[in-house]
Amino acid sequence: MNAKTAAALATVLWGFTYVVTTLMLPPHPFLISAVRAMGGAIILLLIARQLPAPGWLGRLVILGTLNTSLFFSLLFISALRLPGGVAAIFQALGPLFIILLGWAILGARPTALKIISVIIGVVGVALVVLKGDAQVDLWGVVAALGSTLSLALGGILMNRWGRPPMSMVSFTGWQLFIAGVELTLLTVLMGDFPAELTSTHITGFFILALALTAIPFVLWFRAIAHAGAVTIAPFFLLVPITAFALDAIIKSVVPTPFQLLGIGIVILGLLLSQKKVPSPTAP
């Protein structure tokens, strides 16, 4: 599986998170984050059975915090304080943040086409998910921007530090484990526990940990390692589009013409972002 296919599959799987969370899990965001991270970590570490590479523990703590712990917690805070459509717009800004951070930290100067294509994708997402009566909460906006920046910075630092001498499964598993410890402590401090857990909750947690965390994070990190965070960043636009499509199917909602136009614009932006611009030849 090539890097772009892996990135596309990872973001589509992430798009299922909203449906599983709302239909199968208790309304306790910090508990969900902790179980998601620790559950995914246990699955991957049982498969890898490999200790962290020497000299990489500090970097794993930083990456686990940025890519998972901080990202999950701020994402759920924004989801609680903002309408879904508004939160999705800030998530869609992730590719733009990755491109700009890649320019600042890696010196990877983006082409005008790359920036324009991402902006086109954000406009498309806005047409799909944003409603005219959406209310904006300041702290929700701060949390949404923080979650997006956290994941973007984590991906760029992975590129800067390179791939560690360990399997990608182990590399991902240890990041999730570190985040799981942090999020478990946060859950205990917040007292975010349900009165009881049903069989539906348990099934939902298993699906979330395996299919929507362990697998897509391995795919996403592998794509970053092979193609670079800047190259695969636009595929993140598929997350809100997938979530919208699933929500429309489950609720039997017929998309409006503007929403269909938005989906088309997102696809156009994604295709433009992957178009290679020939380098000018010397005379």
Q: What is the pLDDT of residue 283?
A: 41
Q: Which two tokens stand for residue 165?
A: 């001498």
How many CB atoms are closer than 10 A to CB 25?
Answer: 24
pLDDT of residue 133: 57
Distance in angstroms (rounded) separating the CA atoms of residues 140 and 60: 28
Look at residue 281 and tell me if it is in a domain: no
Residue 103 domain boundaries? 3-273
Say how many CA atoms lie within 13 Å of 217 toward its Cβ: 32
Domain count, the chain: 1
Domain assignment present for residue 280? The answer is: no
Which residues in the chain come in under a pLDDT of 70? Answer: 83-86, 132-135, 277-283
pLDDT value at residue 7: 95
Instruction: Say if 106 falls within a structural domain.
Output: yes
pLDDT of residue 61: 96
Decide if 233 is inside a domain: yes
The H or E element spanning position 77 is: helix 70-81
In a domain, 46, yes or no: yes
Q: Is residue 172 part of a domain?
A: yes
Residue 281: the pLDDT is 43
Asked whether residue 14 is assigned to any structural domain, the reply reads yes
Give the Cβ contact number of residue 194 at 10 Å.
12
Q: Is 226 helix (H, G, I), strand (E, B) or coil?
A: helix
Query: Would residue 278 count as lying in a domain?
Result: no
pLDDT at 227: 92
pLDDT of residue 84: 61
